[in-house]
Chain A
Amino acid sequence: MTCSDVRRVLPEFLDGASEGAFPTDFETHVKSCPACSDLVSDLKLISSEARQLAATEEPAPRLWVRIAAELRAEGLIREPESPPTRPLLVPTSQPRRWSAWWLAPVAAALLAAGSYVVSHKPAPQVAKEQAPATPLTTPAPAPMTPAASPASVPTSAPALAPQQLAKKSAKASDVVASATAVEPEPSAEDQQFLSVVSTRAPSMRATYENQLKAVNAHIREVQAYLDRNPGDAEARQHLMDAYQQKALLYQIALDRIQ
């Protein structure tokens, strides 16, 4: 059997034709020919790696908001007269025991930190070590103002003054450090976020927790790739998208809790 013969029957071989369906000299040739051996190995690898791509992408949280709005507009969602339970994260008429105002600045901070990370090369290790451990979980205790409402949370990086930049640098470094770890504990702001969801809509906690895990894992993955390929502009855009997704997750929760 020649290389040309191997290439002719290769598609069937790769599609898993039963053993024995191939002439023995196929295997013999592949074993003895480095070029054919590499070809078979590579095509098997591509095929198996491609399978891992199914269901890896997380849509932006706004997608469900858009779908739900359309379902309502079309009258497909029928509001129950007296729902026995409140399975979704919907507003209640009971007095609010505490406010979730802090979600808006956290969402904004996430976007700012994300835009910093993607628009700058990763901070040198020395800078990370010297940076004060400013946690992301201490947003300024400002009241909920229209400017801080979810609708106005910026979708692009805000311009930062040098002092702000220094603060963001520390925050971004923290985010990057936590993002590169394997399955780290949820950050303090994520824990606080989930705590709010648990209290206000316990049945939705698992959903939001899974979404947070997914987006955090995506951030870690892209960040790790960027660490290896710091000049890759497309990967930086992926990272910015991931941070935007996380910020949107907070925004949507805020919309529903308020």
Chain B
Amino acid sequence: MTDPKQSTTEAEAIEQAKQGHEAAFEVLYHLHKRRVYSLCLRMVSNPAQAEDLAQEAFLQLFRKIGTFRGESAFSTWLHRMTVNVVLMQLRKKGLPVVSLEETLEAEDEAPRKEFGTKDQRLTGSVDRLQLQRAIDRLPPGYRTVFVLHDVEGFEHNEIAQIVGCSIGNSKSQLHKARLKLRDYLKFMRAEKAKTG
């Protein structure tokens, strides 16, 4: 839920930014920097690249701010712009935004490896750093869909539109990403138990 006071501040800042006021740009930056940077970092798993991408996203935003008419929420607009900046970068680098080879896998997968048969459940909590590391290990296509859906809250139809895949493909990759993350987290837990 958006704080009305913050909305007013943001709306005022948007109008002032259209006039080229530095203070207004800075207010908008500080309001959204964590969300934008976090999204970039989750998608590319590299702090230096994430910083460059966040910079590009904000610059695009500020260049186009004159065209913002308020039909959609400002944060949605910025968020979508950030995702596009990141995906464009991934495509430039030849990284798949959708895992084609993984998508073509048969639905009935081979039995999954289970770590620690006595303790199969992740039991109640997942360490944030470990989860982040597990996400970093995902193949780029899986990571994109997982981050967009489970971290950032996009719906499958939005992801399909942004990424350029079918809704079914998005759902399938999300599920496989979650299964892989479960395996990674269990593996990390087993490794940690071994090293004491």
- Taking CB as reference atom, which chain B residue is nearest A232? B129
Given contacts A50-B146, A67-B58, A67-B59, contact A55 B34 (CB under 8 A): yes
Q: Is A19 an interface residue (CB 8 A)?
A: no
Give the interface size bracket for B toward A: 35 or more
A-side contacts of B174, CB under 8 Å: 11
Q: Is A185 an interface residue (CB 8 A)?
A: no
A8 touching B126, Cβ below 8 Å: no
Distance between Cα atoms of A63 and B55 in the complex (Å): 7
B153 touching A42, Cβ below 8 Å: no
Question: What's the tally of chain A residues with a CB closer than 8 Å to chain B?
Answer: 55
A43 touching B150, Cβ below 8 Å: no
Checking A38, A63, A77, A234 against B120 with a beta-carbon cut-off of 8 angstroms, the contacting residue is: A38
B61 shortest CB reach to chain A, Å: 10
B-contacting residues, A36-69, CB 8 Å: 38-39, 41-43, 45-47, 49-60, 63-64, 66-68
The majority secondary structure among interface residues of chain A is helix
A77 touching B22, Cβ below 8 Å: yes
Given contacts A49-B126, A71-B62, A88-B26, contact A78 B19 (CB under 8 A): yes
Distance between Cα atoms of A14 and B175 in the complex (Å): 9
Q: Is A131 an interface residue (CB 8 A)?
A: no
- Taking CB as reference atom, which chain A residue is nearest B119? A38
B59 touching A70, Cβ below 8 Å: yes
Q: Is A148 an interface residue (CB 8 A)?
A: no
- Taking CB as reference atom, which chain B residue is nearest A78? B20
B124 shortest CB reach to chain A, Å: 7
Given contacts A46-B185, A63-B55, A77-B25, contact A241 B47 (CB under 8 A): yes
A63 touching B35, Cβ below 8 Å: no
A225 touching B129, Cβ below 8 Å: yes
A53 touching B151, Cβ below 8 Å: yes
Checking A14, A15, A45, A52 against B128 with a beta-carbon cut-off of 8 angstroms, the contacting residue is: A52
Distance between Cα atoms of A66 and B122 in the complex (Å): 42
A63 touching B51, Cβ below 8 Å: yes
Which B residues are closer than 8 A to A by beta carbons? Answer: 19-23, 25-26, 29-30, 33-35, 37-39, 41-42, 47, 50-51, 54-55, 58-59, 62-63, 107-108, 120-122, 124-129, 131-133, 135, 146, 150-153, 156, 171-172, 174-175, 178-179, 181-182, 185, 192, 195
Q: What are some 21 contacts across the A-B interface (CB < 8 A)?
A: A14-B178, A39-B182, A41-B121, A43-B178, A47-B178, A49-B125, A49-B126, A49-B131, A50-B146, A50-B150, A52-B128, A53-B135, A54-B152, A57-B37, A59-B33, A63-B55, A68-B22, A71-B25, A76-B25, A77-B22, A222-B129
